[in-house]
Structures are given as structure tokens and as C-alpha cells.
Structure 1
């Protein structure tokens, strides 16, 4: 993509009411547009990041035999009333609306009840089990506060997955398999070393859950961490959890974190409440066991932007960056820069080519703000030496390389 053709541009200023670092950087770098507090549009660069994150998540969910689908955003009141979660006293984040015939509807904030209701048409026998389904969908939550940029939105993209099993043991096994899949996701996203499986409250879902919390100064949570035993407990359940885990609070270190995932083991409660059963091999009707597993896709993007940035701008991991290389041309090298742009793409390298008639300093500043993993500079002086300037955004390390060596270096 040529910068001259890219729909967006970098900005010097951000909305006066935007206080979060992640949103300030993403707005300035042209990744998102702020519609209102907690509501953001994702511009071409931002959309590419979201799609890269989604693809990593998709690959890992497919690897544990889950099937992708997409459910509806509009939710029927009567489905949620079966579990009492239609009530604003039970779930306080609903957005609700009415059809022209005065039928009351909700805008989906989660999908456990609709999934179970749908599966009444498809799950009948032990032969139909197990089943795991996931989706990427825009969720709506009427959050009281939305001051953390895209790390806490009222409208956001989420991956939610649901698995159903014929026994507690089968659900427990899949639950553990999902934990391992989530760990692989965060490793691939570049935040795995600082992300911990955390004992947490189930909130509107169940008594307890497991969160995936990433150490982040801008996070809204505090977890208590035992690094030696790799145990993490959310502050909100610390007293109950330490007793259950058999550890002392004095052994734990408080750390500020941001939640990047959450999973719940419902047992058979949800399916029993909604009347979903299966016919066992002996002909009897038995309960189904359900798990629910979420990753906030836009939230993860915000955490990466917040955590991995520096004073110059964003610093994207290669796996999620919108492009691999920011190509800068300096001076009268139009034809040579065009040729280099084509050769890099032919080598399978995605390139954002700054072909604007701008001074070098402006191009370099935008390259650092946008935060692609590598910057490649071409100029008359460098061409005379038969070299290109190669700079790693994360470290600032710069080398002069031939085209062949540069391509090999990016492919390492």
C-alpha cells in the first residue's frame, strides 16, 4: 500500500476528552477514529491489525476442533428470561430497544443463552457430542465508565466460544485444552510472557472463572501474583481464593493488569435452566455441560498498543502489524523505490510505501508513530553504495544491507 493512496493520515492532536495512551496513539497514527466515549471506528490500518489478531485466534480455536459461525446481535427477551439474566438487576450492561410492534429486544453483550436455545434444534443424542462453536462479533455493553480507550469499550469486537459435553469430566478436559490454546494465542500476539491465568469472579456468569491478565500499568485490575508457583488471583476474590488454593496472601505480589480473556465453566447449570438435554446411550435424558470462553479482540489490540509502545509511537509485534515494512524513499529515486516496492512484495513482504513528497524527517516520524516492525530507507547515497538502510522499530538497531540480505533478515 502506498501512503499516498491510504485512507488516513497521522495527526498531531487527539480529542480533548481522550485520556488513554492506547487511544491517543491509535488516533494520532491513523488506526482508529473516536465516535464517542467507548466507541471507535477502525480505519484501514486498525482493521488490518484486528484481522491479524482474529486470524491467530481463529487458527488456535480451529486447532481444538471448534467451528466458526456468527450469531445475531438482536436478542429475544424470552430467551434470556429463562436464566433471569434479562433483568437489569442481574446484568447491568444491557442495551435494550423495541421493534415497531413494541416487542422488546436486547443488543447482544454475550451469547450463552442464544447458543443453548439454538442448539435445542441440533443436539439430541450422545452421538452429537461434543460440540464447540465460536464467533467474532461486535458486542454492546452499557458500561458505566469507558475511559481506557479501546481497552474498555461500549461497542467492541469479541471472540466468544461455547463448548457442550456429556459429562463434567469431558468439559473439564476441554476447559484445560482451551487454557493451553489461549496461552498459545497470547504467545503469538507477543504478550505471553506477561499474561497469567488468573483465578477470578464469575460475575454475571458463574461463581468463579479464570481470567487471562496481562501486566500493564494502564490496566483496571489488580492481581496477586505468586511468580514461583505461577499462581495469580484477582483482587476481587482474593480472600475466597487463597483459602481454596491453600496459599497465604503474604506470599503474593500485587500487580496492575489488563484482562485480555475470560473463561467460565458453567457445569450443567445453564443447560438445565434452559431445558437442553441429550439422550444417552441407554436411552435416558441427561444434562449437558457447557463452557464459555472469551477474548476481547479490540481490547487485546489496545493492550498491545498500550504496553508495547514507546515515547515515539506504536511498536507492533510482527504477527499483528498491519504491514511488515515501512518503506521510505529520499530524494530523486522514484523509479528505484517503485522497483524496490515491487520486489519486496514479490518476496512475500507486506509493505507500506511512503511515496509522499515530504521531507525525510516527517516520513521518519510517521514511520515511528505507526510502528511497523521494520523501516527500509532508499536514497541516492545508499544506492551508490549498493545498500539499503534497515531499521528495527523495537530496538532502533540500524544496518546497511543488500536487497538479498534485507529480505533474508526480515524472513528470520
Structure 2
């Protein structure tokens, strides 16, 4: 340890809000270089290499073949797929010295399709899965939480190619099982696979793997027995709405009442008896999108974007709203031309009767809006675009939905032909006819996985690493190494443990016991052996498991065999 690069730090970093960020910096695993960009120190590199080894084993187990693609790609590939224009500022674009447009890859769908179309062209060569463990760069606007949200990161990304959807689905669930094994083997205690939105990746079916912990930036929605799992972007609930007997539409004066709360208070109704108008625009074309949702719900913008097939939405400005014939603060879909404005009605507003909605006139609202009657013949979309709320009824069991926090540590997608069709990655079938290959995509963030393990496995003193990915398996501490033969005894133990194939970090610095043990807790190695003049007087060493308060004595002559057996037993849990 006197030679180990990476000092321990007593104080938490000022910008650290999560335990993994604090301990990774304090323990000497990583060092910040810039916002969202980190160097790995030797301890961190050893952990990452072990995580990568587990990932490789599991990818090879399902017939994956490892490749390595460049981080820098020509923009032409992303233009072929259409993502060069559709992805926002998180894609780092630049020009090389020859003025050729280039990108730093944040993901490698385009790169792998380019590779596969040069190497495979027959149904006889499919299915195939290729994977890499490679650096990515995402120009994240707000890096946070240490390695959980960064700009530069290492990722395992895998891509499978198939002749038909049934074959993709079969392989997709093999990969799903492999992911479950990976997260168990790296020592995550609670990881849920949940239904997810495919987002910019495309495709119809996707799952996210969420490590459940308080610091997670994603919301995981489940029922009590976990039979229903979804993220907030796509979660649904078994809402029941009441249309009742429709009452006559009535225009009423509501001076100065623009918000749902103001209208409800003025008219003496509940928010769930009102309809809320929300306006968006297509960020690319400027097209206006008029949303009506019940006043006690919020718009789920991912559901909305999927419903109107718009990749990026922005809130509309008043001039666009007024140009459509609506009045900001008093807007209503009644009388709006659905051919000029895209109107989207949430189920809550379409299926609840006698709502209070705007009247498209300043200081006036309508009472008793009923969608079926008052918008008959109006062109619009009726669908679920509402955010699920905690306690809403589960769509499977009817029981209250539960909200948890999670870190996304992996994701898998059934991409279909989104990339192969646009980039002409085709195969010839038995009859010599050409078809686009069908793709799946499978990703794991390596550094994020390391951080997630800490979030689920730590105490107030530092990480408690699982044996499978610990930087070392045993820490050997010498107290007063220059006295009573302690140094000599430790050197022999170190040599014997190493010869037995055990990874040992030997603290030979001669620090005081308190400082030495504090550093040991920050490093978080699973097993600890302590040698001191007192233990040697009993011809013994002190043995302690990280995270346990109790220690025991082992005879020095049998310590190596006892520790080796303990290491083997713990490693067996992660195979």
C-alpha cells in the first residue's frame, strides 16, 4: 500500500451528493478532470476490469463475438440513419482538419450496421451478435452524481442481427436472462427489469434494468408483488372515469382566473371536475399541438411525443396559441379547427363528463363540457397521455401503485429495421431475395454499474464490495511492523496468500491503527487480516469481514487455508 497510487481523502467533495460519488473520490478510485469526466485510479480500474470480465463471460455464453469500433465516426453514417438531425446537442459534432463533419459516438448503432453490411449478406450467416466494451461520449448538459451521469463513459453495447422478428424475440429474452445474471454476479442486491420507452433508440419493445436505491434519478413504478413494473415515461394505471348524465353547455364569467386552482376555487368545483389546456409545438416544424387533460392530471410528455410521433416537443408561445384561435389561460378545444392544429385529448378529459374548460374568450369558461357531444366531428387524437400518480390503481391487480427510485444500469431494445432499412443492411434469403436485417440492441454502463453497487452496498465508513468485483479480496494490515516480528510475519503471510491465488493489498505503511482501519473501510475490501505484536504473542492473526463489527482470531499457521476457503465460498455465490 505504500506504493499504491490514489490517496484517501477525509472530507467529502463539495459537489458530491450521493454516497457513491463521495466514496469513489474519497477512497481513491476516481479523480475528476472536468465536469462529468473522470480518471480511473488503480483501485477503480481493478473493479472495472472485473465487471468487464463478468460481462464478457455472459456475452460469450450467449454466442456473442467481441469487436471494437472507433469512438470517432463520420457524420455521414448518422445522416444515413437520420439521427444526425434528430438527436440534439448531446451528440458532439465537429469537423476534422479536412473539414469533414465527424461525431463522437454516444452509441454505436450506425457503426455496427456499417460493419455488418460489409461482412454479412446471407441468411446462412444469421443470427449473429456482436458486442464491444468501448468509450462513449455524451455531451450531457448537467452531469451529476459522480459516475452515475457523466459525459465520457465506458459501455458494453451489443447488437444482434436476425432474419425475422420471432428469432429476435427468442434471442432478446436470452439476453434478458444474461443481464439478470450479470447484475447478480457483480453484486447488485435489487435490480428490476421494467418496461421502458425506446426514445431516440427506436424500436417497439424495450426494457430497462433499474438498481433500486434512494439516489436514483429515475422513477420506478411497481405494484406490491412486482408483477407490474414500468418507468414513469410509459406507466399506465387502471383509471375509471365517470361521464354521468350530460348537462347543457353553459358559458360563465370567470374574471382573472387562469390556473386550474383559481378556476376551481372561483366556481366551487374540484380540480378533477375541470379540463386543463396545455400547448406544445413540434420543436422542428413549429406545428402547434393542443392538449386537453383533466385538471388533476399532468401531461406525460413522452407519451404525448409518441402519440403525435414528434421526436422533440417544446412549450408553445402565446402568439402561436392566439394564431390558432385560442386564448392563453382560457383555451378550449371547442370550436378549434382540428385540421389546422393537432388536438390531443387525454382519456381523463374524454371520459369524464361535465367538465369546466376554457371558452376561448378572456375571463370566460364553459361549464359542462362533454367530449362526445361538444367535439363531435372535430379531428383529434384520444389516448392516454397522463402521468401515473403514486397510489393510482395498478392495471394488473387494481392495488395502489408504488413509486421507487432507481439507477438505470442496463437497457435492451428490439430495434427491428429502424437502422438496417435506412442504411441498407440487407441479407439474401433462400430464394435470393433481399430483406433488411432485424436488429436488437443491448447496453450496460460499466462505471455506472460500479457506482450502483456502492449505492446498494455501503455503510457510513465506505463501500462494502462484493467478493466478485472487489479491488482485492483480502487486506493485510501490519500494526507496528517494525516490532516483535510483525513485519516478517506479514511478509510471509503476503507471500503465502499470493501463492494461494488470493488477491492481497498489504498495508505496510506503519500507520496508527485508527488511520489504517479508516483507510481500510474506505477501500472496502471484503476480508481483513490484522497482525500486531499482541496477536503474534498468541501465535494468531485477527480476521474480520468488512461491514461486521465482530472479529475472530485465526491461528497463524492455518490462516491462509481458512482465508482461501472463505474467498472460494464467497466467489462461488457469484458464478
**Would the TM-score normalized by the shorter structure come out above 0.5?**
yes
- Indicate yes or no: 2:563 matched with 1:410: no
Cα deviation for residue 395 of structure 1 reads 2.6
What is the match of residue 477 of structure 2? Answer: 328
Q: Verify the 8 A CA contact 1:20 1:147 in the aligned structure 2.
A: no
Cα deviation for residue 91 of structure 1 reads 4.0
The superposition leaves residues 53-108 of structure 1 with CA deviations (integer Å, 9 ceiling, x where unpaired) of 00011100000000111100111111111221112x43441111111111111001
Cα deviation for residue 239 of structure 1 reads 2.9
User: Structure 1 residues 317 and 170, CA, compared in 2 at 3 Å: closer, same or farther?
Assistant: same
Q: Verify the 8 A CA contact 1:91 1:204 in the aligned structure 2.
A: no
- Indicate yes or no: 2:508 matched with 1:385: no
What is the match of residue 104 of structure 1? Answer: 101
Alignment counterpart, residue 16 of structure 1, candidates 6, 10, 14 = 14
The superposition leaves residues 322-351 of structure 1 with CA deviations (integer Å, 9 ceiling, x where unpaired) of 100111011221111100111111111100
Count of aligned positions: 407
The DSSP-based 3-state class of the residue aligned with 2:14 is coil
- Indicate yes or no: 2:176 matched with 1:179: yes
What is the match of residue 527 of structure 2? Answer: 374
What is the match of residue 137 of structure 2? Answer: 140
Matches within 5 A, 1:120-269: 120-191=117-188, 193-206=189-202, 207-239=204-236, 247=396, 250-269=399-418
Q: Structure 1 CA distance, aligned partners of 2:96 and 2:398? A: 51
Q: TM-score, normalised by structure 2?
A: 0.68
Q: Verify the 8 A CA contact 2:479 2:510 in the aligned structure 1.
A: no
Point out the structure with max Rg over C-alpha: 2
What is the match of residue 361 of structure 1? Answer: 514
The DSSP-based 3-state class of the residue aligned with 1:236 is coil
CA RMSD of aligned residues (A): 1.8
Q: Structure 1 CA distance, aligned partners of 2:163 and 2:566? A: 50
Cα deviation for residue 123 of structure 1 reads 1.0
Cα deviation for residue 386 of structure 1 reads 2.2
Q: Which blocks of at least 5 consecutive residues in structure 2 are unaligned? A: 240-383, 385-393, 570-575
Q: Verify the 8 A CA contact 1:197 1:232 in the aligned structure 2.
A: yes
Q: Which structure: greater helix fraction? A: 1
Q: Which blocks of at least 5 consecutive residues in structure 1 are unaligned? A: none
Q: Verify the 8 A CA contact 1:85 1:91 in the aligned structure 2.
A: no
Cα deviation for residue 149 of structure 1 reads 0.9
Cα deviation for residue 21 of structure 1 reads 2.2
User: Structure 1 residues 263 and 249, CA, compared in 2 at 3 Å: closer, same or farther?
Assistant: farther
Q: Structure 1 CA distance, aligned partners of 2:529 and 2:406? A: 35
Cα deviation for residue 117 of structure 1 reads 1.2
Cα deviation for residue 291 of structure 1 reads 0.4
The DSSP-based 3-state class of the residue aligned with 2:150 is coil
The DSSP-based 3-state class of the residue aligned with 2:493 is helix
The superposition leaves residues 264-321 of structure 1 with CA deviations (integer Å, 9 ceiling, x where unpaired) of 1011222111111111112111221100000000000111122211101111111010
Q: Structure 1 CA distance, aligned partners of 2:515 and 2:212? A: 33
Q: Verify the 8 A CA contact 2:223 2:399 in the aligned structure 1.
A: no
Q: Verify the 8 A CA contact 2:237 2:395 in the aligned structure 1.
A: no
User: Structure 1 residues 376 and 289, CA, compared in 2 at 3 Å: closer, same or farther?
Assistant: same
User: Structure 1 residues 248 and 102, CA, compared in 2 at 3 Å: closer, same or farther?
Assistant: farther
Matches within 5 A, 1:246-325: 247=396, 250-325=399-474
Alignment counterpart, residue 553 of structure 2, candidates 396, 400, 404 = 400
The DSSP-based 3-state class of the residue aligned with 1:132 is strand
More off after superposition, 65-74 vs 78-87: 78-87
Q: Verify the 8 A CA contact 1:32 1:43 in the aligned structure 2.
A: yes
The DSSP-based 3-state class of the residue aligned with 1:48 is helix
Cα deviation for residue 248 of structure 1 reads 6.0
Q: Verify the 8 A CA contact 1:221 1:257 in the aligned structure 2.
A: yes
Q: TM-score, normalised by structure 1?
A: 0.95
Alignment counterpart, residue 7 of structure 1, candidates 5, 8, 20 = 5
Q: Verify the 8 A CA contact 2:429 2:435 in the aligned structure 1.
A: yes
User: Structure 1 residues 118 and 73, CA, compared in 2 at 3 Å: closer, same or farther?
Assistant: same
The DSSP-based 3-state class of the residue aligned with 2:103 is strand
